[in-house]
Amino acid sequence: MHKINGIKTVGIVGGGQLARMMIPAIKQLGLNVAILDPSPDCPCHSISDHHIIAGFGDPDGFEELAKLSDVLTYEFEHIDVGLLAKLEKQGHKIFPSVRSLAIIQDKLTQKQELESAGIAVPKFRAVKDLTEVVDFPCMLKSRRGGYDGKGNFLVRNKADLKPAMAKLRGDLYIEEFVDFDKEISVIATRGQNGECVIYPIAENVHKDSILDTTMVPASISTQIAEKAIDTARHVMECFKGIGTFCVELFVNEKSGEVLVNEVAPRVHNSGHYTIEACRTSQFENHVRAILGVALGSTEMLVPCAAMKNIIGDQVHADFASMLETKNLNVHIYGKTKAAVGRKMGHITITGTMDEVKEKLDRIDLKAVNLKHEN
């Protein structure tokens, strides 16, 4: 019976695309995988050893996953932390820790924890009702459950408050509207022994509040890069993070300001480029961390990489034609239903910066083809 540090089976809460990209790293080491996901045809169903079909708030499902697994992790943060806490008290290993998840999944307590640790964040405060929102413009945010722009609303003036309330749910807080030049992210992995490795900084472009494109390395000054890396290391120490985290940052080159927008205690969309571009992907290093073994090198094997998301019905694009392009890789997640704003896959391009930008410019997913030059 093959085991690593006494671990034979890794349990994952969630069977979506992040888990799907994590599983090959687990299998590469000869281990088994158990997933919990309510969808019988989720992206991980066909590649898992065990699939527990249960909701993310189902106590019996969590208990069954824990019994099958020697270590537990998760692919997204919007799960019942109380169920994980119960398993942790029973002695089950869970990484990242339940404490860090509990703090991070509430964006207000996340910001409070970061600020208490001396990490720069936008100005923020809790609000009980909309009469307390008096400084415009500002970002009104849901404390829990938001992702891909859901749970956020730019309030430009008092008239925006009513549509904001129609869109947002639950407890809210406000943040200052940050005048930033660029959005960047730093993927970091921290091991159980405190070892921390940092991936090359990614520059991100969003459309309709959903990540559209990631370019690596980011086009930023050395000063900003150093601040971003220092901030990421500080964040990992703040949460005693074990596994792969993503630190999303706002950058202002003129002022030299680097502010933490959000922290994700998991592998991240902006780190998908690491599969083709780095010696050890974010997924493999996450697996290494939760197994308690040495972390791999984050060195880039190519000068530049870009990742472009495939959104909604773009999944019907002509990828056969795209694959004629050198150094282009297509990943389709195997989701059965396409929906507006839903991430269905991604494309990675590697090469020199000029080569990558030129190929990226020729991708036209809406035209279901890659525009080739005459």
Element (H, E) at 238: helix 222-238
CA–CA distance, 141 with 276 (Å, rounded to integer): 35
Q: Are residues 207 and 341 in the same domain?
A: yes
108 within domain boundaries: no
Q: Determine contact, residues 234/219, Cβ cutoff 8 Å.
A: no
Structural domains in the chain (count): 3
Q: What is the DSSP string of 265-330?
A: SS--GGGTTHHHHBSS-HHHHHHHHHHT-PPPP--BSSSEEEEEEEEGGGGGS-HHHHTTSTTEEE
The CATH number covering residue 21 comes to: 3.40.50.20
Q: Are residues 188 and 172 in the same domain?
A: no
Cβ atoms within 10 Å of 103's Cβ, excluding its own? 21
Q: Are residues 276 and 297 in the same domain?
A: yes
Q: Are residues 75 and 45 in the same domain?
A: yes
316 within domain boundaries: yes
Q: Are residues 328 and 198 in the same domain?
A: yes
101 within domain boundaries: no
112 within domain boundaries: no
Domain boundary among 55, 78, 94: 94
Strand runs (DSSP E) across the chain, as ranges?
Answer: 9-13, 32-36, 50-52, 71-74, 124-127, 138-142, 152-155, 172-176, 182-190, 196-198, 202-207, 210-216, 243-252, 257-264, 304-311, 328-332, 343-351, 363-364, 369-370
Q: What is the chain's pLDDT, residue by residue, as a tens digit (374 residues)?
A: 799 999 999 999 999 999 999 999 999 999 999 999 999 999 999 999 999 999 999 999 999 999 999 999 999 999 999 999 999 999 999 999 999 999 999 999 999 999 999 999 999 999 988 889 989 999 999 999 888 778 999 999 999 998 998 889 889 999 999 999 999 999 999 999 999 999 999 999 999 889 999 999 999 999 999 999 999 999 999 999 999 999 999 999 999 999 999 999 999 999 999 999 999 999 999 999 999 999 999 999 999 999 999 998 787 778 888 889 999 999 999 999 988 889 999 999 999 999 999 999 988 775 443 343 32
Helix (H, G, I), strand (E, B) or coil at 56: coil
The CATH number covering residue 189 comes to: 3.30.470.20
Q: What is the DSSP letter of 365?
A: T
Q: Are residues 205 and 224 in the same domain?
A: yes
314, two tokens? 């773009």
2 within domain boundaries: no
CA–CA distance, 289 with 282 (Å, rounded to integer): 10
222 within domain boundaries: yes
The CATH number covering residue 163 comes to: 3.30.1490.20
Q: Are residues 33 and 129 in the same domain?
A: no
The pLDDT of residue 150: 85
Q: Are residues 307 and 194 in the same domain?
A: yes
Q: Are residues 166 and 187 in the same domain?
A: no
Q: Are residues 357 and 270 in the same domain?
A: yes
Angle between helix axes 59-68 and 81-89 (nearest 10 degrees) is: 40
Domain boundary among 156, 176, 196: 176
166 class by beta-carbon count within 10 Å (0-12 exposed, 13-18 middle, 19+ buried): exposed
The pLDDT of residue 369: 39
CA–CA distance, 45 with 32 (Å, rounded to integer): 13
Residue numbers of the domain that contains 59: 9-94
83 within domain boundaries: yes
Q: Are residues 168 and 196 in the same domain?
A: no
Q: Are residues 197 and 267 in the same domain?
A: yes
Helix (H, G, I), strand (E, B) or coil at 363: strand
Task: For residue 26, list its beta bridge partners.
Answer: none
Closest by CA position to 65, among listed 40, 92, 101, 25: 92
159 within domain boundaries: yes
The pLDDT of residue 325: 92
Helix (H, G, I), strand (E, B) or coil at 77: coil
- For the chain, the distance separating the N- and C-terminal CA atoms, rounded to the nearest angstrom, is 57
